[in-house]
Structure 1
């Protein structure tokens, strides 16, 4: 199972260098750098943050887990931007996509929250065609056919998008039990669609390590998850000791996860080394 680490992009410390973080993560052997996505919150824009990290690294993959795709209302521009990113990063971009559940992000964008599913489908159709060279809009992505797509969500439309356009599924940071419980539906949908092989399974988790880690983690998660279906589960699933991290890695590996990405909450650059030590890198 691959282990990734998120960028310090949620309520970011202005003195924290994403360049230093990305370089250290690559040096310590992490497989990927991840970002989350909110609009109405103090977060870095995901593709911009990952592009900064891409310029400072050469090997580590760059994954959005997840990007709120329907907010990118200019679908041709989205396809061009992500193809450019993929080309300039040497084919390291992986796009984890979902519509999101917070209406305030859509209200602030002037995008109809009730139409987000239809907008998402239209974006996927435009982007995949454009990445394949249709419509005369370049550049061609480094990855043939476009960056690999993963889809988040626990709904039938999420599974439909996964089997139509995707390489796999991303589970939210609500703990391994939630992840494990949905896997039969993911695998059955993949099989029913006649897809070859098996879907790639990616999971996410929240962590903070070192002095005062539990207090720091709980405070930040409680602020971030002010509402939503999985608010309590997400807060309770946060990891604040090396032992908890190690147990989580073992549990996800046993469940069949292909890659687990840990998102930091507070602390400094030492969090990269503390997590690397906890997972055995």
Structure 2
């Protein structure tokens, strides 16, 4: 059976503090419901200063999910590594690993928005070196032993539960990211289906004498919404899918970023034809899941989607799709 994922970035361009609070609480209720029904993973991410209220604090959200669930994994895909204080990140991840019993997966990327670096007072041109420092510090810190950090001896406690350390992947779409993952002996998480980059990573593992593996999106990794009437859903709610697609497009305008969810659509009709976002009936979703796919990614609150519509999609998936997938195992 494919890996099942529920994605949350808590975007709402028209939010008030009260409505955003409702959205956050709904996301936690959805995570609990997904956990009870056997969905594998909650996926979340990090962006800062976005006008549409994109989630800026994925570790805080992950902690809330862990407190409300028992089994489900939370994958933070991805943190913007150079914007994090390395010692504090090591502590936060260790605490979440202990709290969750080892259910946190962290993908460390470097981001692609210079304005986020400017907002944080971090030099965008040093992001590679800062990412190296972050990864090295995390791995040293989680041993629980003293080590040298910026010229002084430090020690990070408590040690995490997971051995040898909490699951940490290096994300990106560049050869530099692949080399970094291989050099540190960490798994590689390409941001899109990039088999040539995965092959380069394998070469670099051999060159550095390290071991690792690749977690790469499939050639098609659409974000799914489940509905009885897809035509009606596109007509009534297509603007929410388009809002997220256009936001990503505005951040990736230079063409240098390769992403599994990159879209060139400018209208709802174009977006629907593209297939990056798909609205499927339960039957269509079951048929789609029979193909050669790695995961089913549900995005119930996409782009400010009304909470009740998000619940309809999640209920359909858990009650009318997931049991039929389990029956085929």
1:182-201 correspondence runs (5 A): 182-196=197-211, 198-201=213-216
Aligned partner of 1:145 in structure 2 is 164
| CA-based RMSD | 2.9
Alpha-carbon distance, 1:111 to partner: 0.8
Aligned with residue 131 of structure 1, among 137, 142, 146: 142
Structure with max Cα Rg? 2
Aligned with residue 170 of structure 1, among 173, 189, 202: 189
Aligned partner of 2:280 in structure 1 is 241
Helix, strand or coil at the partner of 1:143: coil
Question: Is 1:156 matched up with 2:175?
Answer: yes
Alpha-carbon distance, 1:187 to partner: 3.8
Question: Is 1:51 matched up with 2:40?
Answer: no
Helix, strand or coil at the partner of 1:129: helix
Moved more, 104-113 or 203-212: 203-212
Aligned partner of 2:82 in structure 1 is 70
Question: Is 1:24 matched up with 2:33?
Answer: yes
Shift in CA distance, 249/225, structure 1 to aligned 2, threshold 3 Å = farther
Aligned partner of 1:94 in structure 2 is 105
Count of residues in Structure 1 that have an aligned counterpart in Structure 2: 271
Structure 2 residue runs of 5 or longer lacking an equivalent are 147-154, 228-232, 264-273
Structure 1 residue runs of 5 or longer lacking an equivalent are 254-258
Shift in CA distance, 65/231, structure 1 to aligned 2, threshold 3 Å = closer
Helix, strand or coil at the partner of 2:188: strand
Question: Is 1:226 matched up with 2:250?
Answer: yes
Helix, strand or coil at the partner of 2:310: coil
Question: Is 1:7 matched up with 2:4?
Answer: no
1:75-129: per-residue Cα shift (whole Å, max 9, x none)?
Answer: 1111111111111111111111100111111111111111111111111111110
Aligned with residue 208 of structure 1, among 225, 229, 232: 225
Contact 2:112-2:251 within 8 A present in 1 as well: no
Contact 2:185-2:210 within 8 A present in 1 as well: no
Shift in CA distance, 231/218, structure 1 to aligned 2, threshold 3 Å = farther
Contact 2:76-2:107 within 8 A present in 1 as well: yes
1:104-161: per-residue Cα shift (whole Å, max 9, x none)?
Answer: 1111111111111111111111111010112232011011232111122121221122
Helix, strand or coil at the partner of 1:207: strand
TM-score by length of 2: 0.72
Distance in 2, matches of 1:249 and 1:97, equals 31
Alpha-carbon distance, 1:232 to partner: 10
Moved more, 237-246 or 147-156: 237-246
Alpha-carbon distance, 1:233 to partner: 6.1
Distance in 2, matches of 1:150 and 1:170, equals 6
Shift in CA distance, 14/101, structure 1 to aligned 2, threshold 3 Å = same
TM-score by length of 1: 0.83
Aligned with residue 127 of structure 2, among 116, 132, 140: 116
Distance in 1, matches of 2:297 and 2:175, equals 24
